[in-house]
Amino acid sequence: MFHTGYSGAIIFSDEYVRNNQLLEKIKPTGQTKFSDAAGNEIISKTAILNQLNINTIKFKNVPISYFDSQVKIQYINIFGGDLIKRFNWIFSPDFKTIYFKSNSHFYDSYYQL
């Protein structure tokens, strides 16, 4: 999902984190604890992904976020503003095809979470 209101690069879904064993593979660089309305503790972690491939484009040292909690709250992967701004985007009318081309922000520093 594209989320222009999220200033970071990527938030991975709980399923993606579990299926790709991110908790075991990636060392967190930070974490935040908060509680939901029912009082359940939610842990949000940040880390640096060594490489992210999108089609033929390779990004290095991408800051990511993910959750490490018993309560599963993140059901989809989010492509945030920090990656969105690096491209010019064209969506087909039926949203089945996306065209993108790097722009002048492609080499900007990443937003630090």
> Average of pLDDT values for 96-110?
94
pLDDT tens-digit series, residues 69-95: 878 888 999 999 999 999 999 999 999
Nearest one of 80, 70, 78, 65 to 29, comparing CA atoms: 65
State the maximum Cα–Cα separation within the chain, in Å, rounded to a whole number. 45
- Domain hosting residue 98, numbered range: 2-102
Query: Does a structural domain hold residue 13?
Result: yes
Query: Does a structural domain hold residue 113?
Result: no
Question: Residue 113: pLDDT above 80?
Answer: no
Query: Does a structural domain hold residue 109?
Result: no
Q: Work out how many domains the chain is built from and give that number.
A: 1
pTM equals 0.83
Query: Does a structural domain hold residue 15?
Result: yes
Query: Does a structural domain hold residue 110?
Result: no
Query: Does a structural domain hold residue 57?
Result: yes
Query: Does a structural domain hold residue 108?
Result: no
